[in-house]
Structure 1
Amino acid sequence: MSNSILKTILAAGCFAAIAFPADAEPTKPECLAGAKPGGGFDLTCRLAANSLLEAKVIGKPMAVTYMEGGVGAVAYNHVIGKRSKDGNLITAASSGSALLLAQGKFGQYDESAVRWLGALGADYGVLVVAADSPYKSLAELIAAYKANPSDFAVAGGGAVGSQDWMKSSLLAKAAEQEPKQMRYVALEGGGAVLTALEGGHVKVGAGDAAEMAKHHVAGKVRVLAVMSPSRLPGDLAEVPTAKEQGIDIEWPVWRGYYVGKDVSDDDYKWWVDAFTKLAASPEFTKEREARGLYEYTLIGDAFDGQVKADVARFKILAKEAGM
């Protein structure tokens, strides 16, 4: 197994044994991104659309369409209400979708209202401080936070209840502090978090590895811990995980897809087999790496189980954090 956190589930058991259901290939393949062009959902759709065609898993281009609203909530409700049987359609999702489902922000529907197809990559949460910060390890940061919590402003690229807020709450819990008492500064994206750190306006930032890695290498900030099961490859290879430093914190930011609840078993199996074939292709690896994602492949039942486990975990975290 690769050292870069490969979690590949070959749904058909063996790549060579994959048999696509007859006549199940989508006639008009489409990926729905539940936001404006340019964001994470767009990236997720483009990852599938480009690599599926380049690897010759699909025989015609996949259309990418957009439906803004509720950080994916409008698209989720649209698929359930209007396109539940559409075997042509896959819809982009992320661990943020699971977090919003756990908080009841997708309306009347829960995580069982769609069929979860697969995840084809992930980023990971990080905790970062300014380059001239006195804290050289996660243990030092936690000890200082615990000693004087009111002195620690923590910035994240999202509002209270967002993924960055939840990462910050895990830091507060590790320091035996109430997350809802945390001095959290909600900013617009990772770039604003970096600016706040460099300007000395906050002491800690919560963010994602792919965005922070180049700034860590450039000496602008210091990544203290990555929230991954094992060390990440590339620019952050020398940064220890939170677990290595004695703190049981993991935060994968997976990029995945779902289909409608009433899609036929043959159509669902076609997509599962297609994703399994895709994940083993060099064309996919190139596309994933170009988008700054790390290896994280869960397909079919394995992904369905992971999403539902994530929602259950996020419900507990939200309750503990006083959300």
Structure 2
Amino acid sequence: MGAKSVPECWRRLAACLVVWAAAAGAEPAPEHLHFIVPGGAGGGWDRTARVTGDVLVKGGLLQSASFENLSGGGSGKAIGYLIKTAERQHGTLLVNSVPIIVRSISGVFPFSFRDLTPIASVIGDYGVIAVLPDSPYQTIDQLLAAFLRDPLQVRIGGGSVRGDLDHIVAALAIRALGADPRKLIYVPYDTGGKAVVGLLTGEIQVLSTGLGEALEQRRAGQMRILAVTAPERLSVLPQVPALSEYGENAVFANWRGFFGPPQLPAALADRYAKLLQEMQALPGWEAALERNGWVNFYRPRGEFAVFLEEQEALIAALRKELGFY
């Protein structure tokens, strides 16, 4: 059976069977997983969930996977739904990333990662600054010069709200180049896909996004990447400078990982974490990392929970430093 939609009744039955087996002390390989994506199609969350499901199915670790996009409220709609329906979501994983921390500490929604069951982080996705191929800004230095002349004329957008992930990447870039990030005009979009459309239609001149989202557009000849927030130049983009070449504090990677519903049985949460660990050894996963420009960032349940606590403190300090408070 391939990765496809599965009727709700069958999905619930499969989840119940897995829970029963886990309670009985067995460690079954789940036949099906349902992935909730808290954003629209084509964004980083969507790509991460669908690639994960596809690799698990093709690698023989799952029989099938299904996907549900629940965009709205800065991912608050999807998180609220998972919490509200937790009892029947034992076969469901929610994908999320840095925004679950940013939007919690900034009050965008009343939830935090503590209201869910952290399963594991899987990838890291560096941020990029990108433009259209025929943009007047063909290098990051040309973009800086334009920003210094008149910040109001350089509209930078991203697929997150003000003060969130893509805004942080844009502000880090401006700061690394020696300019004042508080003068940045940031245009927020609900999803990364909508931000790409904004660039293609001319609503914004510059896009702040994840490398995985930008690479596909670049390969299609629709986007030019000016810089990346990696510690050094990447093998997939050897000609693109890393912002660390301009400023020592310009390294930033957006982790992405999976969460279960609250009060998910520990045995089942451990099984899902092990499933994602087993995925790391699949050739299809290695190919996906290379294709999307991702770095492997697997952290199982306990490590992931500690990492989330550390990220919360670091991001709060970074937002304050960049003038988001």
Who is 2:47 aligned against?
43
Contact 1:119 1:296 in 2 (8 A): no
The equivalent residue for 1:228 is 230
Displacement of 1:193: 1.8
The share of aligned pairs that are identical, in percent, is 21
Q: Do 2:226 and 2:241's aligned partners in 1 also have CA atoms closer than 8 Å?
A: yes
Once the two structures are TM-superposed, the CA of residue 229 in structure 1 deviates from its matched residue by 3.0
2:49 partner SS: helix
Per-residue deviation, 1:49: 2.3
- Partners of 2:231 and 2:96 lie apart in 1 by 22
1:212–1:74: structure 2 CA closer, same or farther, 3 Å change rule?
Answer: closer
Out of 76, 80, 86, which is 1:77 matched to? Answer: 80
Shift of the alpha carbon at 1:245? Answer: 2.9
Give, in angstroms, the shift of residue 228 of structure 1.
Answer: 1.8
Q: Amino acid of the residue matched to residue 79 of structure 2?
A: Y
Cα separation, partners in 2 of 1:238 and 1:26, compared to 1, 3 Å: same
- TM-score, normalising length: structure 1: 0.74
Task: Give ranges in structure 1 of 5+ residues lacking alignment.
Answer: 1-19
- The answer on whether the counterparts of 2:124 and 2:296 sit within 8 Å (CA) in structure 1 is yes
SS at match of 1:253: strand
Residues 315, 85 of structure 1: alpha-carbon distance in 2 compared, 3 angstrom cutoff? farther
Measure, in 1, the Cα distance between the counterparts of 2:70 and 2:319: 27
**AA aligned opposite 2:297:** T
CA 86–215 in structure 1, closer or farther in 2 if over 3 Å, else same: closer
Cα distance in 1, alignment partners of residues 32 and 224 from structure 2: 43
Give per-residue Cα distances to partners, 1:208-247, cap 9 Å, x unaligned: 323434665787654332012333232x122121113334
Quote the RMSD (CA, aligned, Å). 3.5
Higher normalized helix content (fraction of residues): 2
What CA distance in whole angstroms lies between the structure 1 residues aligned with 2:76 and 2:92? 16
Paired residues for 1:181-196 under 5 Å: 181-186=183-188, 188-196=194-202
1:112 matched to 2:95? The reply is no
Shift of 1:270: 1.4
| 1:266-322, Cα deviation, whole Å (9 max, x unpaired) | 2222122211111111133345556x3513222213333333333333323333423
Task: Show the counterpart of 1:32.
Answer: 35
Offset, 1:257: 0.4
**Cα 1:26–1:64 shift into 2, 3 Å:** farther
Amino acid at match of 2:186: Y
CA contact (8 A) 1:34 1:71 kept: no
Choose from 96, 102, 119 the match for 1:93: 96
2:166 match: 164
Aligned to 1:62: 65
> Following superposition of structure 1 onto structure 2, how do residues 131-142 of structure 1 map, counting pairs within 5 Å?
138=140, 141-142=143-144
Q: 1:158 deviation in Å?
A: 4.3
Paired residues, number: 295
- Checking the alignment, whether the CA contact within 8 Å between 1:139 and 1:245 is kept in structure 2 is no
SS where residue 114 of structure 2 aligns? coil
Amino acid at match of 2:294: Y
What's 2:261 paired with?
260
Partner Cα separation in structure 2 for residue 89 and residue 129 of structure 1: 37
Residues 1:53 and 2:57 are matched in the alignment: yes
8 A Cα contact 1:138 1:242, kept in partner: no
Aligned to 1:4: none
CA displacement at 1:162 relative to structure 2: 3.8
Question: Is the alpha carbon distance of 1:138 and 1:82 closer, same or farther for their aligned partners in structure 2, counting shifts above 3 Å?
Answer: same
Structure 1 Cα separation of the partners of residues 55 and 221 of structure 2: 34
Instruction: Report deviation, 1:205.
Output: 3.4
Assess if the C-alpha contact under 8 Å between 1:229 and 1:241 holds in 2. yes
Residue of structure 2 equivalent to 1:296: 296
**Structure 2: which amino acid aligns with 1:124?**
Y
Q: 1:154 to 1:77 in 2, by over 3 A?
A: closer
SS of 2:28 mapped into structure 1: coil
What is the TM-score of this pair, normalised by structure 2? 0.74
Q: More deviation in 48-57 or 213-222?
A: 213-222
Distance 1:288 1:246 in 2: 27
Contact kept? 1:146, 1:177, Cα under 8 Å? no
Q: 1:247 to 1:156 in 2, by over 3 A?
A: farther
CA distance in structure 1 between the aligned counterparts of 2:223 and 2:275, rounded to whole angstroms: 40
